[in-house]
Amino acid sequence: MDLENKIALVTGGSLGIGRATVLALAGEGADVAFTYLGFRKHKGEAEEVLSEVRKLGRKCLAIESDVSKFKEAHDVVQKVLDEFGGLHILINNAGITRDAVTWKMDEKQWDDVIDVNLKGTFNFVRAVSAVFRAQKMGKIVNIASINGMRGKFGQVNYAASKAGIIGLTKTVAKELGSYNVNVNAVAPGMIETDLTQDLSEEVKQRSLSEIVLDRFGLPEDVANVIVMLVSEKGKHITGEVIKVDGGQYI
């Protein structure tokens, strides 16, 4: 398996793309830690992911954490190092939406999305950078969005956060390249996840009409690209943004 003896950390790993990524990494031989929020159903969902990874014969650690908290990110990374003895892969997946048109968006809606999506990504990149520099190797994949590349009506906060992730990705790729660290972003289009379940049928049909392949993506479609990027197959790819959108951006 491509990721045998590798240790990965996935933020927001109990649902959707994060869950699919945790399972895909484990399926390729990696031991995996993931973060989750401790409210709603997330604790139960985290337990289910733990169980599924262990059935694959891999070690797994679920850590309750708020990715927007700078110190918590460092604490999570230290827990992974203490538990597994190393860390080789970081997937920044945790994200939220708080949609509204600009003239109706309040300060909290803006701050919440920027803090989780953009600051949360920075927090974990910052936390692993010393580890990856010291060992002179590492893989980082940040989850962006095609809406961070093209904009989206009613998502000024989300689009700005994802555009920021793209800028962060390219900058960190330049900064860590000499340490043999690959840093890339994946930009999904419309993917069937918990974030899209509550969208109106009108919004879904409008999105579907944009997609060349005439179908919504699945979390596994994104996870498969992530696995490629963190494997030896992606060793000469860095600073890139790879769309996984069925042609929605075209």
Q: Distance between CA 246 and CA 250 in Å, rounded?
A: 9
Instruction: Put the strands of the sheet holding 241-244 in their side by side order.
Output: 60-64, 31-36, 7-10, 89-92, 138-143, 181-188, 241-244
Contact 7, 30 (CB under 8 A): yes
Amino acid 167: pLDDT: 98
DSSP per position, 158-216: HHHHHHHHHHHHHHHHHHHGGGTEEEEEEEE-SB-STTTTTS-HHHHHHHHHH-TTSS-
List the one residue out of 25, 26, 100 whose CA is nearest residue 58: 26
Amino acid 66: pLDDT: 96
Question: What's the pTM?
Answer: 0.96
Where do the domains of the chain lie, and which CATH numbers do they carry? 7-244 (3.40.50.720)
pLDDT digits (tens, 9 = 90+) for 127-168: 999 999 999 999 999 999 999 999 999 999 999 999 999 999
Q: Distance between CA 186 and CA 184 in Å, rounded?
A: 7
Please calculate the CA angle 159-245-209 and round it to the nearest 5 degrees.
90
- 3-state DSSP call for residue 61? strand
pLDDT exceeds 70 at position 33 = yes
Contact 23, 219 (CB under 8 A): no
pLDDT exceeds 90 at position 194 = no
Amino acid 246: pLDDT: 96
β strands within the chain, DSSP E: 7-10, 31-36, 60-64, 89-92, 138-143, 181-188, 241-244
How much helix, strand and coil, in percent to the nearest 5, is found in the chain?
50, 15, 35
Residue type for 13, please?
A: G
Binned at pLDDT 50, 70 and 90, residue 83 comes out as very high
Q: Which of 36, 158, 179, 249 is catalytic?
A: 158
**Mean pLDDT value across residues 16-29:** 97
Residue 166, token pair as written in the block:
């793209």
Contact 208, 221 (CB under 8 A): no
Asked if 158 is an active-site residue, the reply is yes
Binned at pLDDT 50, 70 and 90, residue 203 comes out as confident
Residues 6 or more apart from 86 whose CB is under 8 A from it?
A: 7, 135
Q: Distance between CA 207 and CA 1 in Å, rounded?
A: 36
pLDDT exceeds 70 at position 40 = no
pLDDT exceeds 80 at position 15 = yes
List the one residue out of 167, 207, 209 whose CA is nearest residue 188: 207
pLDDT exceeds 80 at position 196 = no
Block residue for tokens 């994060």: 18
Which DSSP letter does residue 231 get? Answer: S
